[in-house]
Amino acid sequence: MTDLRQPPPRRATEPTGSVSVPTTVLVGNPRQGSRTRTVAQHLTEALRTGLAGLDVHLVDPYVVDLAELGADLPARLLAGTAAHAPLEQVVRRVRGPGLLVVVSPTFKGSYTGLLKLFLDMLPREGLCPGTVAVPVMTAGWAQHRFVSDARLRPLLVELGAVVPVRGLAVLEEEFGDLDTAVAGWTAAAVPVLAAVLRSCQTSSVGSARPAETLPIHQTAQLR
């Protein structure tokens, strides 16, 4: 007698194993010691904690605070790349594959001119394959709640980044309790980012030259 019983269908399995992801935080506020940078660091730490629970580990974030680069940005445009080798290292780090958290205050309904000036320095091909970006903006009024998706997300997509989650806007009135301000967004974003970062890390192995390694425990300094 023929046995008509069929074996049970295979269940799709989630990726296993730990993944380490290079992480860069780009802060576009022209003021040093800004609350924008505080938001950037707080959010990155929240992402780091959440992703670690899914075995996706963010390498100690390398912070590029454009306020600390000062006059080097327009000087680089005038003198060309050869005269500003340290700044070229920063550009390579920002371009490299991994997680890129881009944070800017809202100036006149958009991101800052300082951020745009820096991103205009990227080569024609923009960001390297395997770059997963998170757009974040701080704002003073509730009507700017969606400015990160309306303004910053399209810029990052144009540069070649994968932007798999909606942007985050943190209002000035929320600065006093950043845990609450980022908690809901982080809970929704972490599972998506974990899956995309795993996929990008796997597909980029051997297919793209990694960005030059810099000391990742320090903020970029050109002086």
Domain holding 174: CATH number? 3.40.50.360
Q: How far apart are CA 67 and CA 4, in angstroms?
A: 71
| E-state strands within 51-205 | 56-58, 62-65, 98-105, 131-139, 168-171
Residue 104 has pLDDT above 80, yes or no: yes
In order of 26, 30, 35, 48, 110, the CA distances from 114 in angstroms are 11, 7, 16, 27, 12
Q: What is the pLDDT of residue 119?
A: 93
Q: Is residue 80 part of a domain?
A: yes
Give 39's pLDDT tier (boundaries 50, 70, 90).
very high
Q: What is the pLDDT of residue 181?
A: 94
Q: How many domains does the chain have?
A: 1
Give 125's pLDDT tier (boundaries 50, 70, 90).
confident
Q: Which residue has the tokens 């340290």?
A: 86
Q: What is the pLDDT of residue 142?
A: 84
Q: How far apart are CA 133 and CA 8, in angstroms?
A: 40
Residue 164, φ and ψ in degrees, nearest 5: -85, -10
Give the tens place of pLDDT for each residue, 6-29. 554 444 445 568 999 999 999 999
Residue 197 has pLDDT above 60, yes or no: yes
Mean pLDDT of all residues in 134-156: 93
Whole-prediction pTM: 0.83
Give the tens place of pLDDT for each residue, 66-91. 999 877 787 776 666 555 667 888 99
Residue 69, φ and ψ in degrees, nearest 5: -85, -25
Q: Is residue 1 part of a domain?
A: no
Instruction: Print the domain residue range for 81.
Output: 19-204
| E-state strands within the chain | 19-21, 23-27, 56-58, 62-65, 98-105, 131-139, 168-171
Q: What is the pLDDT of residue 220?
A: 43
Mean pLDDT of all residues in 188-192: 98
Pair 65, 27: CB distance under 8 Å = yes
Q: Is residue 215 part of a domain?
A: no
Q: What is the pLDDT of residue 88?
A: 84
Pair 28, 118: CB distance under 8 Å = yes
Q: What is the pLDDT of residue 30?
A: 94
* Count of C-beta atoms within a 10 Å radius of residue 32: 12
Q: Please state, for a pLDDT cut of 70, what percent of the chain lies above it.
A: 79
Pair 211, 97: CB distance under 8 Å = yes
Q: How far apart are CA 200 and CA 20, in angstroms?
A: 12
